[in-house]
Amino acid sequence: MNWKAIIFDMDGVVIDSERLYDIADAEFFQAHGKVFEKDRIVPLIAGKSLMDSTAIVKEMYNFEGDVSVLTGERRKLVHSIYGKALTFIKGFSEFHHEAIRHGITTCIATASDDTLLALADRRLGLSEIFGAGRIFKISDVGNKSKPDPAIFLYAAERLGFKPAECVVIEDAPNGVAAAKNAGMYCIALTTTRPREELGMADVVLDSYQDIKNHLLL
């Protein structure tokens, strides 16, 4: 099929940020006298907004304090790391260039916190890469976190395409579920989670070279 649009998740798909979240969360847990159990926590919160993921963590580990205050603590930790170590996922830039060359419209649809999104944009020039008005965030859809399909449906509507004309590239189970709930073809990229957690996707691939071979060749 000749796809009209590719909708990219941001964290773990465009930018190599999930490892930075892990570092920040390890510090966050330690500051509260708790142990960060990555393999238990990350599958549950990946693709969620910072506020929603903090609420999940608070309930699971009985953190004391208001969710908004705890969210602010996590945001501050991630922000300090973002400014120093944020990079693109390997192969993204080359693949994106090829997609544009093939006449495919692209955008970002992310659950990322607005403050962190703005920082990533300033550091890596996302608005210049994707174009004005093509970075969509869950605050645009009432902060409905994935697996709710709202952010992907909104992106497709704004781009002027039907869901069936769009491909979503995701790295998290919640994001994959959101794409399928939106009625879109979904490619799962194994940058952050093992392939057995991504089985809802139409196809699970390991690199942007694999995605290029699958979509563009």
Q: 92 and 68 in one domain?
A: no
- Report the amino acid identity of residue 109: A
Q: 30 and 107 share a domain?
A: no
* pLDDT computed for residue 43 by the predictor: 87
95 and 202 assigned to the same domain: yes
The catalytic residues are 9, 11
- Nearest in space to 98 (alpha carbons), one of 18, 179, 3: 3
Q: What is the pLDDT of residue 170?
A: 98
- Which of 51, 69, 85 delimits the end of a domain? 85
Integer-rounded Cα radius of gyration of the chain: 17
Count of domains for the chain: 2
CB 7 within 8 A of CB 152: yes
pLDDT in tens, 48-66: 889 999 999 999 999 999 9
| Angle subtended by helix axes 208-215 and 92-101, to nearest 10 | 20
Burial of 43 by CB count in 10 Å (0-12 exposed, 13-18 middle, 19+ buried)? Answer: middle
The residue out of 57, 85, 113 marking a domain boundary is: 85
Both 58 and 113 in one domain: the answer is no
- pLDDT score at 85: 86
Cis amide linkage into residue 149, ω under 30° from 0: no
**Same domain for 92 and 153?**
yes
Estimate the crossing angle of helix 173-181 against helix 150-159, to 10 degrees: 60
Q: Is the dihedral of CA 95, 85, 11, 198 positive or negative?
A: positive
Q: What is the pTM of this model?
A: 0.90
Question: 49 with 101, same domain?
Answer: no
Beta strands 203-205; 135-137: pairing state:
unpaired
Q: Helices (DSSP H) in 32-66: which residue ranges?
A: 38-45, 50-61
What is the domain-level CATH number for residue 191?
3.40.50.1000
Task: Mark whether 127 and 150 lie in a shared domain.
Answer: yes
DSSP string covering 67-90, please? HHHHHHHHHHHHHHHHHHH--BPT
Same domain, 78 and 29: yes
CATH classification at residue 65: 1.10.150.240
Report the SS3 class of residue 11: strand
At which of 54, 85, 116 does a domain end?
85
Q: Cα separation of 156 and 145, whole Å?
A: 17
- Please give the pLDDT value at position 55: 96
Where the chain has pLDDT below 70, the residues are none
Tokens of 114: 């607005």
Residue ranges with strand state E in the chain: 5-8, 105-110, 135-137, 166-170, 185-189, 203-205
The predicted structure's pLDDT at residue 47: 80
What is the per-residue pLDDT for 28?
A: 96
Range of the structural domain that residue 122 is part of: 5-16+87-215
Reading the block at residue 28, the tokens are 């966050």
Same domain, 33 and 131: no
Q: Do 187 and 100 reside in the same domain of the chain?
A: yes
- State whether 104 and 169 are in the same domain: yes
Q: Does 76 lie in the same domain as 113?
A: no
Q: How many CA atoms lie within 13 A of 151 on its CB side?
A: 35
